[in-house]
Amino acid sequence: MVDTPVWRPVPRSRVAAASTPRSPRRRLIPAAVVLGVLVGAALVVPLVVDLNQQYVDLASADRPPSLAHPFGTDELGRDVLLRCVYALRVSLAVGLVAALISSVVGTAVGALAGTAGGWVDRFLMRLVDAVASVPHLLLGIVIVAILRPSLTAVVISIGLTHWLTSARIVRSEILSLRSRPFIDAAIVGGSSRTRVLARHLLPNVAPQVLLATTLMVPHAVWHETALSFLGLGLPPHAASIGNMINDARRSLLSGGWWMSLAPGAVLIAATLAISGLSGVWRDRLNPRRRSELTW
């Protein structure tokens, strides 16, 4: 005789634990620690060790990881870990500046489209669609080729090809805010369109713009890496994540796996840390999630 299973209700505590979203503190602490270590190393190590003093030593070329060189040496005998720290500093600076440029351009275009309306709105949105129809990397290559490969050209190309998201966010938020009663009260009170935009619309859009800027940083870092990998970024002798991965590509066939391990690991760690902090911030800015999350 087979025993019939007895149905037992699931305790409410277990149901609540399963349905409650994960606390952002659990994601915030690891992401902040990883990003703090990477940024601290990128800022402190260049003050202690000068990369120009690391001369080429062909006798120590292509050495695997050891105590003296935790991530080995490259084909010229230079320490991979030290060059990776310098490359991270360059990549983070490029990503941050390019994200700020894209946010400024996107905010200006979105604010003008949402405030002016009419043919101005239609023209700017068609411009956004036209730029979005071209792949970012292809458009970035064209811009860098026109300006000649350099750090400034890479920053400008990323900033001029990644403003579309900010423009759409700002436009949609302004169109939503324009129907609010406090905007009508400001207009009835005699405020000009410029004053309403500066005093009421942009401050309410600022959190979304800051979030979009934060999310753009890792994407800009990967874009700079791709351009440097294609030989259109920094000069070949400069320390860059893309240049290091490009140099390591030639060593993989000969067994030099460690040359791509350090830059790849640092790039992935920085991307995941910034994305984790951005996700926590996004949850805190979302009104629906804000009422559910507890620190």
pLDDT in tens, 170-221: 888 888 887 777 777 777 777 677 777 777 788 888 878 887 887 788 788 8
- Cβ atoms of 260 and 252 closer than 8 Å: yes
Largest Cα span, the chain: 86
Q: What is the DSSP string of 191-254?
A: --HHHHIIIIIHHHHHHHHHHHHHHHHHHHHHHHHHHHHTT-SS-TTS--HHHHHHHHHHHHTT
N-terminal to C-terminal alpha carbon distance within the chain: 52
Binned at pLDDT 50, 70 and 90, residue 17 comes out as very low
Nearest to 159 by CA among 197, 226, 104: 104
Residue 295 has pLDDT above 50, yes or no: no
Per-position b or e across 177-204, b if 16+ CB within 10 A of its CB: bbeeeebeebeeeebeeeebbeebbbee
Half-sphere exposure of residue 230, counting CA atoms within 13 Å on the CB side?
16
Residue 111 has pLDDT above 70, yes or no: yes
User: What local confidence, expressed as pLDDT, does residue 105 receive?
Assistant: 92
Residue 110 has pLDDT above 80, yes or no: yes
Tell me which residue has tokens 């934060």.
Answer: 214
* Whether the model pTM is above 0.75: no
Per-position b or e across 99-126, b if 16+ CB within 10 A of its CB: bbbbbebbbebbbbbbbeeeeebeebbe
Nearest to 234 by CA among 84, 226, 26: 226
- 208/123: higher pLDDT: 123
* Mean pLDDT computed over 106-121: 87
- 49/241: higher pLDDT: 241
| Mean pLDDT over the full length of the chain | 76
Residue 20 has pLDDT above 50, yes or no: no
User: What local confidence, expressed as pLDDT, does residue 4 receive?
Assistant: 53
Give the separation between CA 60 and CA 126, rounded to whole angstroms. Answer: 57
Residue 248 has pLDDT above 80, yes or no: no
Domain boundaries, the chain: 27-50+75-285
Give the separation between CA 68 and CA 27, rounded to whole angstroms. Answer: 34
Give the separation between CA 180 and CA 118, rounded to whole angstroms. Answer: 20
Nearest to 151 by CA among 240, 215, 278: 240
User: What local confidence, expressed as pLDDT, does residue 29 receive?
Assistant: 78
- Cβ atoms of 23 and 295 closer than 8 Å: yes
How is residue 239 written in tokens? 């320390």
Query: Which CATH superfamily includes the segment(s) 27-50+75-285?
Result: MetI-like (1.10.3720.10)
CA angle 24, 172, 184 (to 5 degrees): 110
* Mean pLDDT computed over 261-282: 77
How is residue 126 written in tokens? 């068609």
Helix (H) or strand (E) holding 173: helix 164-177
Give the separation between CA 57 and CA 104, rounded to whole angstroms. Answer: 45
In degrees and rounded to multiples of 5, residue 145 shows phi and psi of -65, -35
Residue 288 has pLDDT above 60, yes or no: no
CA angle 71, 72, 74 (to 5 degrees): 120
Binned at pLDDT 50, 70 and 90, residue 60 comes out as confident
Residue 137 has pLDDT above 80, yes or no: yes
Count of other CB atoms within 10 angstroms of residue 71: 21
